Amino acid sequence: MKLVRQVGWGRALGFLLLVWVLFLLVAVTFLRHEPDPQTAQRISQAFKDLQMLHQQSIEINQLLSDYSISDSAFRQVFKDMVVRNSDKNFQGVKLPFGKKLEGESSNIGEWRQESALDYEKMRRRLNMGVEEMWYFISSQIKLAKKQAGDASPQMVKSLDKILDEGLEHKRWLVKDLGRLAEVDGHARWREREAEELSRLVQKRIHQLQNPKDCSKARKLLCSLNKVQDLIETVDFPKYSESDKPSSNENHT
């Protein structure tokens, strides 16, 4: 009986061992099986796209940290451009976006400053042009009124109406130009330029008023040739007899 039991357990263990060996063979065969070439190509392309996107993200963050973009309108345009080009790159379109940013990053601040300066010059020229145009039109209308005189009262009324309406339009134009300076996004740039100019002027005045060596500093000399005439032109206080201080007051 014991022998039968031993033989039964031996067969069971042998069967389990055989199943385990077969399982290992199947697992090794499955692991060694090469994947589909098309699937491998897709995985490789996706990995390359992820690497390219990660590299562009690093470059963009570095660029934004190096260059401060204060203009909100310019910042929005810049972000839109970055998003569009990043999407195109991620879709497989090869664009030298990173190299382009590296080549142009040094010129962004310069370009913005020149653009703001040109814009400010044009805005002030427009403002001055509106003022000059109104001065010319109003002077010509007033001259026409003067020439019409009493001969044509109706013409004078029409010219007065033109003057009033023209003045109203001129005021609105000036107001719109002033409003344009508030919404164009260059207010911070104007403040910075004004502060820089003020600092430069104050520094220059301080240097002129406090030279390092007074003996070598340039001086402004005023020569008075007619001292007597100058003294005569100066108003001195005049006292009458009643205004003169008494001797007692002098002693006190």
The predicted-structure confidence for 156-203, as pLDDT tens digits, reads as follows 888 888 888 888 888 888 888 888 777 777 777 778 888 988 999 999
Q: Based on C-alpha coordinates, what's the Rg of the chain?
A: 45
pTM: 0.37
Q: Which residue has the tokens 């009986």?
A: 1
Alpha helices in 210-246, H assignment, sequence order: 227-233
| Domain definitions of the chain by residue range | 115-183
pLDDT at 69: 46
Three-state SS at 219: coil
User: What is the rounded average pLDDT for all residues in the chain?
Assistant: 67
Contact criterion met (CB below 8 Å) for 134 and 170: yes
Which position has the higher pLDDT, 166 or 27?
166
% of the chain beyond a pLDDT of 70: 43
Which position has the higher pLDDT, 7 or 53?
53
Mean pLDDT value of segment 19-40: 61
pLDDT at 213: 82
Using CA atoms, how far apart are residues 126 and 177, in angstroms rounded to an integer? 8
Tens digit of pLDDT for each residue in 212-247? 888 887 777 777 665 555 555 555 455 444 444 554
Using CA atoms, how far apart are residues 43 and 201, in angstroms rounded to an integer? 64
Query: Any residues with CB less than 8 A from the CB of 75 and at least 6 apart, and which?
Result: 69
Contact criterion met (CB below 8 Å) for 130 and 170: yes
pLDDT at residue 101 greater than cutoff 70: no
Using CA atoms, how far apart are residues 67 and 57, in angstroms rounded to an integer? 16
Contact criterion met (CB below 8 Å) for 86 and 56: yes
Q: Is the dihedral of CA 173, 178, 181, 184 positive or negative?
A: negative
